[in-house]
Structure 1
Amino acid sequence: MRNSFRVHAALFFVSVIYAANYSLSKDVMPRYMGPFGIVTLRIVGAVLFFTIIKYVVAPRDKIVGRADNVRSILCGICGIGVNQLLFFSGLNLTSPISASLLQTIAPIIVVIASAVLLSEKITLPRVLGIAVGAAGAASLILSRNAQAAIYPHATLGNIFILANATVFGLYLVLVQPLMRKYHAFTVLSRIFLVGAVIAVPFGWREALTADYASFPLYIWLEIGYMVVFLTILAYLLNNWALKYASPALLGVYIYLQPVLAVLIAVALGKDHFSWGKAGQAALIFLGVWLVSQKPKKAVVSEVAVKTVQS
């Protein structure tokens, strides 16, 4: 029970981090730095952090075997390099509302990929959970005013976000076996290194040519937030949770992001809360609960094992 609470707490905190990013990133780009420059700063910072920590905490832990090494490379490509390039490119072109809505496709990809790659059962409660959660998220986001006139290239941005959600959903499934077999810092240092090889060639110019002297304090703080919280802490908590949660549960927490984004906006005086939004939030939490339910056979098996062991 205690471990279950920690998993949900970690996933909830990650959702808060991601929800705040939709607004903070728009402050930085494209006025102060392009999207690829932000990605470069994030990934380089994460590579340095996770590599140093890895050699302090788990110096002898190494990813071995061809299958695991190939999997780690795929995780770096899907979960770090391509994922972040697509996300920030899309967010730069579209509105935070559209980006949040399109992120809800990730749990669908996660469930399908889990069934194919991990032989995880797609139970009726999970199907219902995804449907209910998606309905709540879509209702919440679509109830807000569109800003199409402000984003003339929103269609292209939406395509990028859609692709981002797809590759991130695949990453959640691919990385799970690695996180259960190796130390978290071993996996994260490897996949961020692979991601750097993919992303840095696209963003090093934007990172080097930015006029850092003109950055106000709040921009520095927001960039620091994106490197420390959005990249390092969020990935660390996400991957730790993968040891104990199914990919479907991890993915469905994306539904919380639009709800939390509204709450953050209310706290800042940029939005108002209504009973309608409360109902939409309830749908999303119901979806999270349904997806977290384990198949009955799995529960029976666990009980049987505990009985034999005792």
Structure 2
Amino acid sequence: MAATLATCIYGVNHTVAKALMPDYVGPFGLILIRVAGAAILFWCISLFTKNQKIDFKDFPRIFGSAVFGMVINMLMFFKGLSLSTPINSSVIVTISPIIVFVLSAFLIREKITWLKASGAVIGLAGALILVLFGKQLSYNSPNIPLGNAFIFINATSYGIYLIMVRPLTKKYSAITLMKYLFLVATLINLPICYAEFSAISWSALPFDSIWRIAFVVLGTTFLTYLLNIYALKEVSASTLGVFVYLQPVIAISYAIFAGVDQLNFLKIIAAVLVFLGVFMVSKNPARKRNLAGN
């Protein structure tokens, strides 16, 4: 449920964040708002939770997780989204589970079952149907090929992040991890993003832009990263990665709700394939047997 809720927020974010860029906020300026805002929230909440000391040997992994999960991942996503379309971005990120599967098998020797592999293929097929045959949203997209390339890098980086951060989730609380990860990410992103951040005309921002910025900070960043860290405590990185297949479904559903797209039979079939793929990958027979034995 945590992974599904996080994915739903991500799916809506493709359209919500796209409307901000570049007229009101540059993509890099939005990233600085996002990471700094989340860092402040996590550090404030940590004042009311149990304090955990980070082992010195874990700092390199924390640094790497921040780089792949909150720096490269975010820089490439928002820049790519500003150049491409919401539906394109929501579908391209579905390559992340494939990357997680491959890296998990080679780097941490995670067992990949035929059920999970089949679910990944079925989910990917549904996602590809959406982008190959679905109607594209009408947004300003000045350089779709370059934007798609950036989003591909984003998906790769996110896959690496899921693998790197999972051992830390077994050792530290979600709040402890997030406050340090976002602090590191803020320090790294600051020199990269400050120029676009300083160019924001705050007094001229309409309410429509303000609530979108709040959604990106509170929903797409603070809540989703917290939910995903919790989910990683319960499921493997490869299982969590496949939930990204829900994003195209959510993105198109939100587009239909907003009146910029239409539902048809093809999209219904694609959505069924996506949900079936996520269900197959999230199945854990071993855990089910253990529960039955208890």
Pick the TM interval, shorter chain: over 0.9
Q: Does 2:184 match 1:194? A: yes
Segment drifting more, 112-121 vs 36-45: 112-121
CA distance in 2, matches of 1:271, 1:101: 16
The correspondence of residues 217-256 of structure 1 with structure 2, limited to 5 A, is: 217-256=207-246
User: Is the CA contact 1:11–1:253 (under 8 Å) kept in the aligned structure 2?
Assistant: yes
Instruction: Find the partner of 2:280 among 245, 266, 290.
Output: 290
Deviation at 1:151, TM superposition (A): 2.9
Output the amino acid matched with 1:100. S
Deviation at 1:252, TM superposition (A): 0.7
Q: Does 2:30 match 1:41? A: no
The correspondence of residues 1-310 of structure 1 with structure 2, limited to 5 A, is: 9-59=1-51, 61-66=52-57, 68-146=58-136, 151-294=141-284, 302=290
User: Is the CA contact 2:135–2:261 (under 8 Å) kept in the aligned structure 1?
Assistant: no
CA distance in 1, matches of 2:43, 2:250: 32
Q: When the two structures are aligned, how many residues end up with a matched partner?
A: 294
Output the amino acid matched with 1:64. D
Deviation at 1:289, TM superposition (A): 1.5
Structure 1 residue ranges (4+ consecutive) displaced by more than 4 angstroms after TM superposition: 146-150
User: Is the CA contact 1:126–1:292 (under 8 Å) kept in the aligned structure 2?
Assistant: yes
Output the amino acid matched with 1:62. K
Task: Encode CA deviations 1:21-62: one digit per residue, 9 max, x unaligned.
Answer: 111112111001110000000111111111121232022x02
Distance 1:115 1:186, change over 3 A: same
Deviation at 1:148, TM superposition (A): 10
Segment drifting more, 284-293 vs 269-278: 269-278
Deviation at 1:15, TM superposition (A): 1.4
CA distance in 1, matches of 2:175, 2:103: 25
Q: CA RMSD in A?
A: 1.9
Deviation at 1:116, TM superposition (A): 2.5
Can you give the 5+ residue segments of structure 2 that lack an aligned partner in the other structure? none
Output the amino acid matched with 1:192. F
Output the amino acid matched with 1:96. P
CA distance in 2, matches of 1:62, 1:82: 27
TM-score normalised over the length of structure 2: 0.94
TM-score normalised over the length of structure 1: 0.89
Deviation at 1:294, TM superposition (A): 2.9
Output the amino acid matched with 2:117. V
Deviation at 1:246, TM superposition (A): 1.3
Larger Rg computed on CA atoms: 1
Task: Encode CA deviations 1:64-85: one digit per residue, 9 max, x unaligned.
Answer: 041x211111100000011111
Can you give the 5+ residue segments of structure 1 that lack an aligned partner in the other structure? 1-8
Deviation at 1:146, TM superposition (A): 4.9
CA distance in 2, matches of 1:224, 1:285: 29
Output the amino acid matched with 2:211. L
CA distance in 2, matches of 1:62, 1:277: 49
Identity of aligned residues (%): 38
Deviation at 1:109, TM superposition (A): 1.1
Output the amino acid matched with 2:160. L
